[in-house]
Amino acid sequence: MSKLNYLKKIFINGGFFILLLVITFYLIFRHQNIGEIIHTVTKVNPVCIIIAVGCMCMFVFCEAVNIGRTLRIYSYNTSLAKCIKYALAGFFFSAITPMASGSQPAQIYYMYRDGIEISHSALALMMELGSFQLITVVMAVLAYIAKFSFFSAAGYQIKYILLVGVILNTLILIIILMAFFSKTLLQKCINGILLLLKKLHFKKIEQKRAKINNQVELYHEGAAAFKNNKITVLKIILTTFLQVVAFHSIPFWIYKAFGYNEYHFLTVLAIQAVLYITASAIPVPGSVGASESGFILVYRTLFPAQVLNSAMLLSRGISFYLFVCISGTFLLIFHIVNRGSHMDYKKAAILKNKETV
């Protein structure tokens, strides 16, 4: 992709993201007293807000640590600062593109600038993604089962909407696991789906088959790395668990910031685990609209009506909007500082970053 097309895509996705944001906040706050909401937000416990922001910093830090670990499997000695750059790039582009589709391509691009071969960066990110999907889905499934009575009390429609989100993400996890560990079984599933699409008169089936097969090969290569680096993989999974717990605990700290104590940590963590994968299944940039509406629907049992919108604003503001601004600003500064650079240094960077095996 040329630089012009790359920038054009950013502006289009960014514009769509802002439009969704404006519509969402208009629908949520159109009948609210904004002055009262701002006043409520300013009265919360600042210590809990700082802890919530710290949880997001932990989320980014854990992402960076895991990226570094996966790259070291392929003999790259990448600094923590660069891995934080990759993590912020992933966060920003996952926010402004539907289904977080721009996250990995953007990370691969920044890794390529630093001399990391595309095949290696893609495999490393596949491993990191697999770990994240594993932890988020397992936590959500266990949470849905453990707190089924809570979700049932939230309403008939909400209960089944959340269940659909859990099922969809579980299916995605199963596909990823098959790609890593059962190439033959996955290939049969793919052939069956493509045959069905062909009977339904979908076009360019063979082109889709070629793209899917390339992706399967990539996952299969990643499986070999998993098998040969079991200790590293275990560290990645444990770090991902810490990352996801930190991220899902943000609503709890917002709950505490308002001075409430009725619901304990694990209850709020379970609610957020289910809400997260349900909202992430909605194909809009950053799950904008779905996350905000879902928060209001699900957390209305925990928060009184008079502070519910303020709580949503704080929780979503810290876990998403604040770090979209931080990551976007960081990338803008990075490109301004490096605007004169060119990727001709790729070969030199590879020699510098790669350790002698």
pLDDT in tens, 228-249: 788 988 999 999 999 999 999 9
**What pLDDT is attached to residue 165?**
79
From CA 239, how far away is CA 253, in angstroms rounded? 21
* 18: in domain: no
Q: Residue 304, SS3?
A: coil
Region 177-190 average pLDDT: 69
pLDDT grade for 181, boundaries at 50, 70 and 90: low
Cα dihedral 339→341→343→348 (10° resolution): -150
From CA 85, how far away is CA 91, in angstroms rounded? 10
From CA 111, how far away is CA 83, in angstroms rounded? 9
3-state SS of the chain: helix, strand, coil percent to 5?
85, 0, 15
Please state, for a pLDDT cut of 90, what percent of the chain lies above it: 32
**What pLDDT is attached to residue 53?**
96
More confident residue, 200 or 89: 89
More confident residue, 66 or 104: 66
* 292: in domain: yes
**What pLDDT is attached to residue 157?**
66
Range with top average pLDDT, 186-195, 216-225, 327-336: 327-336
* 241: in domain: yes
* Tally of structural domains, the chain: 1
Listed range (29-43, 86-100, 233-247, 307-321) with the worst mean pLDDT: 29-43
**What pLDDT is attached to residue 343?**
47
* 217: in domain: no
Listed range (55-64, 139-148, 166-175, 344-353) with the worst mean pLDDT: 344-353
Listed range (12-16, 169-173, 279-283) with the worst mean pLDDT: 12-16
Task: Pick the closest to residue 180 from 226, 220, 214, 147 (CA basis).
Answer: 220
pLDDT grade for 273, boundaries at 50, 70 and 90: very high
From CA 219, how far away is CA 302, in angstroms rounded? 41
pLDDT grade for 46, boundaries at 50, 70 and 90: very high
pLDDT grade for 250, boundaries at 50, 70 and 90: very high
**What pLDDT is attached to residue 103?**
86
* 221: in domain: no
Look up the domain containing 266 and give its range.
43-156+232-347
Q: Is the pLDDT of residue 269 over 90?
A: yes
More confident residue, 169 or 36: 169
* 309: in domain: yes
pLDDT grade for 344, boundaries at 50, 70 and 90: very low
End-to-end CA distance of the chain: 33
DSSP line for 110-165: HHHHTT--HHHHHHHHHHHHHHHHHHHHHHHHHHHHHTHHHHHHT-HHHHHHHHHH
As a whole number, the mean pLDDT across the chain is: 81
Record the tokens describing residue 87, joined without a space. Answer: 């993590």
pLDDT in tens, 108-119: 889 998 999 887
**What pLDDT is attached to residue 5?**
59
* 173: in domain: no
* 175: in domain: no
Q: Is the pLDDT of residue 164 over 50?
A: yes
From CA 94, how far away is CA 61, in angstroms rounded? 17
pLDDT in tens, 131-140: 898 899 999 9
**What pLDDT is attached to residue 180?**
67
